[in-house]
């Protein structure tokens, strides 16, 4: 196997059912993006029912940030506004 090759496996049936439930749960919800505070690239997508904290690595700059999905809202000019 080459060094950068990603090994992909079959999804177990119970996990596949959970993924299907998640897709059903977001049906009709709006999706918004939270940008990386360092480079402003869209880092995570969150749906209307998102609550809690998420740690994510920015795909552009590689920095890791913790996002409060409930309190970080998009402002009217479509940039992320940090509310704390």
- Residues of this chain that interact with Zn ion (CB under 5 A) are 36, 38-39, 58, 60-61
Length of the chain: 84
Looking at beta carbons only, is 34 or 36 nearer to Zn ion? 36
Looking at beta carbons only, is 37 or 69 nearer to Zn ion? 37
Looking at beta carbons only, is 16 or 59 nearer to Zn ion? 59
> What are the E-state strand segments in 1-84?
31-35, 42-47, 53-57, 64-68, 72-74, 80-82
Shortest distance in whole angstroms from residue 34 CB to Zn ion? 11
Q: Which residue has the tokens 């090759």?
A: 5
């Amino acid at each position: 196997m080459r060094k950068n090759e990603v090994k992909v496996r079959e999804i177990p049936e119970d996990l596949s059912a959970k993924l299907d439930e998640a897709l059903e749960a977001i049906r009709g919800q709006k999706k918004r993006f939270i940008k990386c505070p360092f480079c402003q690239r869209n880092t995570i997508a969150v749906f209307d029912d998102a609550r809690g904290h998420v740690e994510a690595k920015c795909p552009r700059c590689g920095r890791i940030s913790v996002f409060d999905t409930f309190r970080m809202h998009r402002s009217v000019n479509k940039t992320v506004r940090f509310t704390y």
